[in-house]
Amino acid sequence: MEATVPGHADTHAHGHHGHPPSGLMRWVTTTNHKDIGTMYLWFSFAMFLVGGMMALTIRSELFQPGLQILEPERFNQMTTLHGLIMVFGAIMPAFVGFANWMIPMQIGAADMAFGRMNNWSFWLLPPAATLLVTSLFVPGGAAAAGWTLYAPLSVQQGMGMDMTIFAVHILGMSSIMGSINIITTILNLRAPGMNLMKMPLFVWTWLITAFLIIAVMPVLAGAVTMILTDRHFGTSFFNAAGGGDPVLFQHVFWFFGHPEVYIVVIPGFGVVSQVVSAFSRKPLFGYASMVYATASIAVLSFFVWAHHMYTVGMPVGGQLYFMYATMLIAIPTGVKVFNWIATMWRGSLSFETPMLFSLGFIFLFTMGGFSGLVLAMAPVDVQMQDTYYVVAHFHYTMVAGALFSAFSATYYWLPKWTGHMYNEKLGKVHFWLSLIFFNMTFFVQHFLGLAGMPRRIPDYALQFTEFNQISTIGAFGFGLSQLLFLYNIITCIKGGPKAPAKPWDGAEGLEWDLPSPAPYHSWETQPTVK
């Protein structure tokens, strides 16, 4: 038996002769948190491009009324896969990649707690993504029920739906294992002297997110398993003729789906907290209140699921409860925005690319929050339900929220990861193009929704043409400006100018938001590999 030291799982994964494997096998068998974090990030970017191409296909169809390039069924398959791939393939793996890279460093641990489980949780993703994408090419095509997979549609569709269910199960397994690993690492491998209230906020937000994932992923698994048995084993969970109820699916799905929205955005809160603090050159304002606000957002997210379901015929008392509970979430969210602004107040600000993306996040996420408050009102939502207003709302929270904070994190930590600086001018161009085209794409969709354009339709009335054309042009601009990002990253990795020891001048290392000096075992005092 080989004894292993916790956090050093990679010491015995080196093949028979004691040499670490090289080439492809290094990546297949690695238990190193940095390698695995890198794979997560590249995988998520690849999925971002795939999901983005689907979005552009959708927008191309909507450039003018009438059916141009997609059959209605194909159009719905595109919306389904775009949603599933962006949420489970692009955004979540990106933040797990950041977690893998940064959490051990930020808490002074040698590695993640479970090296081999870490490797496995990554390698479950490519097969799941393959299942999703290839479901387009099977008889009957991919699931066309939308990313929410609503019954009874999802019970009636072809084998692409079965592939989707299988993919969702695999993605859920990956997320749960990653979360167990993150929680164990944070709770057990912190350096001496680092108690919970001294951890960087990124670590806190991931601790909270990981608990959310473990709580709700099994719920999604239950929902899609019930669809599976309805499809193949004669059960009637969602079939009214057999005593089931299609609305039951919505309840189960959204009990997963609403916390999922916060799973997507809470790690972004952590990134923005650290970046804003760094480029304001002062500690985060109200560290403790940030931790409590994030935790209360996570707890409240379990009590608001049916605000996605105001139109299913729930009693008025139920609508009132979900309306007030939803509005309550605005309070801790407002606390966070206030704290970010107070951090910048009278700080010594500089506006490098990471800071720009974090500021873009704060501005756009706040707008998404406001449209969310509008949709929280039951009588208003009954009018807005399933219109483009909802599409605009959740893209302001998820694209502007998760994606902008992910860009911010990438630019912020890239010098640390690669030892090279990226091209700052190019980074700023990437930011401004993304900001302008993002708003061009999604801001006009509020007006489409207010005018009554339903979502998930391939054709529309003539009155919606202009706004749809603006939206489509914006989407192509946004998509193309991400190629600048890719170019900047690759040139940086291949050897941009050498990064100084503290790339963000005056922003001292990673522990800015700690109320006390960095612990002795912080990564800052560990020897760096040249």
Q: According to the model, what pLDDT value does residue 503 have?
A: 85
> Which residues, listed in sequence order, are joined to residue 411 by a DSSP beta bridge?
none
- Kindly name the residue from 190, 282, 336, 430 that is annotated as catalytic: 336
Which sequence spans correspond to the domains of the chain? 3-519
Which residues have a Cβ under 8 Å from the Cβ of 113 and sit 6 or more positions away?
6, 7, 181, 184, 185, 188, 189
Which of 3-7, 173-177, 201-205 is least confident? 3-7
Per the annotation, the verdict on 459 as an active-site residue is no
Per-residue pLDDT at 111 exceeds 90: yes
Q: What is the 3-state secondary structure (H, E, C) of 368-399?
A: HHHHHHHHHCHHHHHHHCCEHHHHHHHHHHHH
Per-residue pLDDT averaged across 98-119, rounded?
A: 95
513 is catalytic: no
Tokens of 386: 């399933």
- Whether omega before 497 lies within 30 degrees of 0, making that bond cis, reads no
Strand partners, 387: 454
| 301 has catalytic annotation | no
Residue 152: is it exposed, middle or buried by C-beta count within 10 angstroms (0-12/13-18/19+)? middle
Question: In the numeric block, which tokens belong to residue 233?
Answer: 């084993």
Please say if the pLDDT value at position 513 is more than 50. no
Q: Which of 260, 352, 511, 513 is catalytic?
A: 260
Provide the pLDDT for residue 520.
43
3-state secondary structure of 518: coil
State residue 506's pLDDT score: 53
Can you name the residues that pair with 420 across neighbouring β-strands?
A: 498
Whether pLDDT at 22 is above 60: yes
**What is the per-residue pLDDT for 504?**
84
Token code pair at residue 462? 């003539």
State yes or no: pLDDT of 3 exceeds 70: no
**Residue 198 appears among annotated catalytic residues:** no
Which pLDDT band holds residue 505 (cuts at 50, 70, 90)?
Answer: low
pLDDT digit string, tens, across residues 203-219: 999 999 999 999 999 99
Q: According to the 3-state scheme, what is the secondary structure of 306-364?
A: HHHCHHHCCCHHHHHHHHHHHHHHHHHHHHHHHHHHHHHCCCCCCCCHHHHHHHHHHHH
Is 511 in a helix, a strand, or coil? coil
Exactly one of 455, 460, 491, 521 is catalytic; which is it?
A: 455
CA-based nearest residue to 396, from 360, 355, 354, 350: 360
Active site residue 333: yes
pLDDT of 184 strictly over 90? yes
Above 60 in pLDDT, residue 516?
A: no
Query: Does the annotation mark 336 as catalytic?
Result: yes
Active-site pick, 262, 310, 389, 422: 262
Quote the pLDDT of residue 496.
82
Distance CA 333, CA 364 (A): 13
82 annotated active-site: yes
The pLDDT value given to residue 389: 98
Q: C-alpha distances in angstroms, 251 versus 12, 88, 218, 246, 384?
A: 46, 20, 14, 9, 20
Interior angle at CA 65, CA 61 and CA 70, nearest 5: 30
Fold of 3-519: Cytochrome C Oxidase; Chain A (1.20.210)
Reported pTM:
0.91
Q: What is the DSSP letter of 498?
A: B
Statement: residue 8 has pLDDT above 50: no
174 is catalytic: yes
> In the annotation, is 175 catalytic?
yes
